[in-house]
Chain A
Amino acid sequence: MTEHVATNETILVVGGGISGMTAALEAAETGKNVVLVEKNPALGGRTSQLYRYFPKLCHPTCGLEINLRRLKGNPRVRLLTLAEVTGIEGSTGNYTATIKVRPRYVNENCTACGDCERAVEMKVDDPFNYNLSQHKAAYLPNAMAYPQRYVLDPAIIGTADAEKAKAACKYGAIDLDMQEETIQVKAGAVIWATGWQPYDAAKIQPYGYGRFKNVITSVEFERLAALQGPTGGKILRPSDGKEAKNIAFIQCAGSRDENHLRHCSRICCMASLKQTHYVREKYPEDGKSTIYYIDIRAIDRFEDFYQKVQADPSVNFIKSKVAKITEDEHGNPVCHGVDTEGYKRYTTPHDLVVLAVGMEPSVKGINIPGHIVADSSGFIEADPANGAVFGAGCASNALDVNRAVQSATAAALRAIQVVNKVAKAEA
């Protein structure tokens, strides 16, 4: 893994979600050498955790499959999984990145047969399902994982379970002595595509996320709807497993709020409109959605999507930012507030409340060396002072999948220009 030869003409892409994969592939397909660094054991990022994406409501597995095929066929992309960039030094055309690679405890011999998973007993939280369920400590990150290779959770190392897994493997793929490594990679340009994280909903104190089981976030709702999610695709509420048919969606949970995230996260309105489709899909007879909103921002050309949802009798729109949520004796979350169309107070119980949480850039709080210019929300700005470190996708702005891909392609073009200059100078 460490013998990759990277030079000043190499492009380093940090983050293997939809943006990072796109940037890496676009650059590699023009003949550049790319090192793609992913923190998780598999590529795909948050896009792979969605059930469907708007506006066509297709499954993200489709778009990912295309990218994975491009990747498998391209020898110019070197992929490092379980790897994190801990520091970057140098300047335009001459960077050296320090990368920490965590052990997978499974080598290239793995055929993903699953014998180790069946052999072990220990279970750990499954981050792919936002910890709503558990998986075995020897696991495949998700059904579409690339690389299609098992991982051992570090918690299992040194236990009898680890030995069981090793014994169960027919291919000698399990190596319990793997150690963490730190490697250095040279690069002419860096594309920072570390994406986003859902805003910590527990910080929105009046909404009771963390106190009330039936208040969940929009990303968790994606997993509830997904066939490979914790409920097998049934929308069941966490407290008692009851079918959640009367669902409230609360917009701007964290976004457009000086106390939380200053920016509009852009995707949440469309995400909630999309998620009303899930409710109707799973409960066509008596599913009911209520969207509490300040104003609906169906970005880009998606106004027709909004109008279609508006015309749906099972979806109710209430123009109001919910003031607080309480819980009644049946475990139902109750929304309190004032409908600003008519100034009427409401106290409405629902089966489940979904907070459309905002996007926080993952780069926020990370110390990226080299004086990166970011905006007041922490998104990387396109600024000459950043040298050849370019933001792509949600590291640079709150974007949907479509726009993230555009942004990644743009970042790839900028990086290609830098390494072209380096190549000319060296020739």
Chain B
Amino acid sequence: MSANTAVAEKYRNNFLKEIEEQVEMGDWVKMCMQCGVCSGSCPTNFQSAWEHPPQELFMMILAGKREEVLTSSSMWNCTSCYNCIVRCPRKLPITHIMHGIAEYAHRLGMAPKMQPTRFFSGLFWKNCTHTGRVNELKLSLGLYFKDGFVQGVKNGMAMQAVAIGLLKARRLNPFELFGGHKCKDQTGIQAMLKKAYEIERSRKTAKMAG
């Protein structure tokens, strides 16, 4: 049992408390009055993309449906348009809560592994922390080949026209594939990141111990 799941164990049968303490902005969840304006305002048309719209997720949290909420892909589909925050009559920071739940599910290792948003977030972080600069060519190729080599080639073929257009407009440099541009002070960047990791780790440990 990892340290994370060991701590999560103390919240058995009290999922709302767990969300309040562990999820960023999670203490807002109980303020939801189930009016449905967030779901109605969501531009992602959740019925095809989302399993559970925000106010249903909040109700599920109150109902203690831990497994269903944390393994759900719903909160990963939030595009951060902030329509729900603007319209929420109780001023719940819904966008932030969605990201908070997603991050917590990720921390517990319960988030769906191949969910595109989650996959891309990991890819992006690795990519940009490697040299201190985003290598767009490697990033998009990494996303194309997410579901295996064959699918990757298919994706590449489908995007061919866009790639050629970008090449012509000099917005895509094929030599980026070999190393690519980077920050001048490589050691500085890595030291900075190391420090940030340290701070975050100690914060989360404190929270988990909390």
Chain A interface residues (CB < 8 Å from chain B): 206, 252, 256-260, 294-295, 319-324, 336-340, 343, 345
Contacts and interface: CB of A to CB of B under 8 A. Distances in A.
B55 A340 contact: yes
A252 B40 contact: no
B91 A338 contact: no
A78 to B, nearest CB: 45
B40 A323 contact: yes
B55 to A, nearest CB: 6
Interface in B54-110: 55-56, 86-87, 89-91
Contacts of B33: 256, 294-295
Contact of B35 (A324, A336, A340, A345): A340
B47 A337 contact: no
A260 to B, nearest CB: 8
B41 A324 contact: yes
Interface of B: 33-37, 39-41, 45, 47, 52-53, 55-56, 86-87, 89-91
Contacts of A345: 39-40, 45, 47
A337 B84 CA distance: 12
Contact of B39 (A252, A258, A294, A343): A343
B56 A343 contact: yes
Contact of B34 (A257, A259, A294, A322): A294
A339 B36 contact: yes
Nearest to A346: B40
Given A338-B53, A338-B55, 13 more contacts: A320-B36, A320-B40, A321-B35, A321-B36, A321-B37, A321-B40, A321-B89, A323-B40, A337-B40, A338-B36, A340-B36, A343-B52, A343-B56
A249 to B, nearest CB: 15
B90 A337 contact: no
B60 to A, nearest CB: 11
A321 B37 CA distance: 5
Nearest to A251: B35
B91 A259 contact: yes
A92 B187 CA distance: 76
A200 B35 CA distance: 21
Contacts of A323: 36-37, 39-41, 87
Contacts of B41: 206, 323-324
26 contacts: A252-B35, A258-B89, A258-B90, A259-B86, A259-B89, A260-B89, A295-B33, A320-B35, A321-B37, A322-B40, A323-B37, A323-B40, A324-B40, A324-B41, A336-B40, A337-B36, A337-B37, A337-B39, A337-B40, A338-B36, A338-B40, A340-B36, A340-B55, A343-B52, A343-B53, A345-B45
A357 to B, nearest CB: 14
Contacts of A257: 89
A259 to B, nearest CB: 7
Contacts of B52: 343
Contacts of B86: 259
